[in-house]
């Protein structure tokens, strides 16, 4: 049985209806909305001038209970821009940054019961709007003043009824969720949206978020607070990288065998193999069995213990180098999450001092500080971090 692909086009008005009624939705792995106002206006001008606009791709995902969810596989930026043009809204990142600064200075406060009324437009997608309502008036009535700005296009409703956007609609032959996930994963990772290349972490999300069971495992929300600040550019902690390398070490019990043959850009393939070992029980000879480490797939308590330990240790959220970050996180994640151990918080000052001394030692060794990404140095950090934390594990 082969995959079925259907082709056609809908008016922009109908696309808006599909979005607002959630008959088409974004997979959880999709990146944030990254276009700016100029990109949006360029798209609208293309429709007005009857120029070619690339079609979007919608994929049917058939769940085990028989329900079907229609995912936006390719075209998030275009469909979101059409919706924003219709609503005459655009996320105002600068005012949101001002709001965050005011919170930090104590000039503004948030009601603990109601939470922050501002949408996080720095990591934003169309679901922020569709969760507020299914029509323009309802959505606009729930927006916090200053969170969004007007685009100023003043498009008449007729525009959305008279212009069309093409689509391909895919119904995969596979009926089981795992096979469908693999099919859409490959498709998503091969797609470039309007020339804006996906970074590895964004592309990788397609491997696990369709399986909701692992949503909180590969990217715990609290881990997004930790990052390396490199010449003013923040590089968020890659939690899945740590899981991958540490799981391999736990299975192989030889740091020199970790990621052997996967240096450079090949490391992303290695991480992909690890993710498949978790969601599809593959590659257990390399990474071990997920179900052995987490019986019945229950990882929630260990993830929570990791969060609590981070809070108790009061680790910095910002690191000057991957050397520093690795030394603090390799051993911590290994012992707390993969070995289900507890760290002696009463000795946290001694622990931090020990880690800092090891960091200084590593920086003085050969070319470690000049080429920290080289695997020989990464393996040094992995084993040394594990050994440091070993002495602070509660028996």
Q: Tell me: the pLDDT tens digits for 372-385?
A: 888 899 999 999 99
317: pLDDT strictly greater than 80: yes
Exposure b/e, 193-231, CB count within 10 A at least 16 = b: beeeebebbbbbbbbbbbbeebeebbbbeebeebbbeee
- If you average pLDDT over residues 189-218, what whole number do you get? 61
Q: Tell me: the pLDDT tens digits for 239-264?
A: 999 999 999 999 999 999 999 988 77
57: pLDDT strictly greater than 90: yes
Residue 178 confidence (pLDDT): 74
How many whole angstroms separate alpha carbon 173 and alpha carbon 218? Answer: 28
Whether the CB-CB separation of 84 and 78 falls below 8 Å is answered with no
- For residue 254, give every residue at least 6 positions away whose Cβ sits within 8 Å of its Cβ, in sequence order, or none: none
How many whole angstroms separate alpha carbon 117 and alpha carbon 143? Answer: 8
Q: Among candidates 129, 25, 131, which has minimal Cα distance to 72? A: 25
How many whole angstroms separate alpha carbon 300 and alpha carbon 214? Answer: 10
Residue 187 confidence (pLDDT): 72
């Amino acid at each position: 049985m082969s995959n079925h692909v259907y082709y056609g086009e809908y008016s922009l008005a109908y696309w808006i209806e599909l979005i607002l009624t959630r008959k088409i939705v974004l997979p959880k792995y999709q990146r944030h909305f990254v276009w700016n106002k100029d990109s949006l206006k360029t798209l609208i001008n293309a429709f007005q001038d009857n120029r070619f606009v690339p079609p979007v791709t919608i994929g049917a995902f058939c769940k085990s209970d028989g329900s079907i969810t229609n995912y936006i596989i390719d075209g998030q930026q275009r469909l979101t821009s059409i919706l924003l043009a219709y609503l005459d809204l655009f996320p105002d990142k600068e005012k949101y940054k001002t709001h965050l600064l005011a919170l930090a200075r104590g000039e503004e406060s948030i009601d603990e019961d109601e939470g922050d009324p501002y949408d996080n437009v720095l990591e934003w997608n169309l679901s922020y709007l569709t969760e507020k309502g299914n029509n323009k008036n309802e959505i606009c009535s729930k927006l916090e003043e200053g969170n969004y700005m007007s685009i100023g296009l003043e498009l008449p409703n007729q525009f959305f009824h008279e212009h069309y956007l093409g689509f391909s609609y895919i119904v995969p032959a596979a009926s089981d969720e795992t096979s469908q996930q693999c099919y859409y994963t490959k498709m998503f990772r091969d797609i470039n949206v309007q020339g804006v290349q996906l970074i590895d972490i964004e592309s990788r999300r397609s491997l696990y978020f369709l399986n909701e069971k692992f949503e909180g495992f590969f990217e715990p929300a609290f881990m997004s607070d930790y990052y390396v600040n490199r010449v003013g550019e923040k590089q968020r902690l890659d939690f899945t990288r740590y899981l991958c390398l540490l799981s391999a070490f736990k299975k192989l019990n030889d740091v020199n065998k970790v990621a052997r043959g996967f240096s450079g850009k090949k490391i992303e393939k290695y991480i992909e193999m690890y993710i498949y070992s978790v969601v599809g029980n593959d590659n257990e000879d390399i990474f071990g069995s997920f179900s052995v480490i987490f019986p019945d797939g229950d990882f929630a308590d260990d993830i929570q213990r990791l969060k609590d330990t981070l809070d108790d240790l009061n680790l910095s959220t910002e690191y000057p180098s991957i050397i520093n970050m690795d030394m603090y996180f390799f051993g911590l994640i290994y012992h707390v999450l993969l070995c289900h151990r507890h760290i002696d918080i009463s000795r946290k000052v001694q622990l931090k001092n020990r880690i800092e001394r090891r960091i200084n030692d590593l920086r003085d060794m050969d070319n470690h500080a000049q080429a920290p990404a080289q695997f020989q140095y990464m393996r040094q950090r992995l084993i040394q971090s594990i050994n440091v934390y070993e002495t602070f594990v509660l028996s």
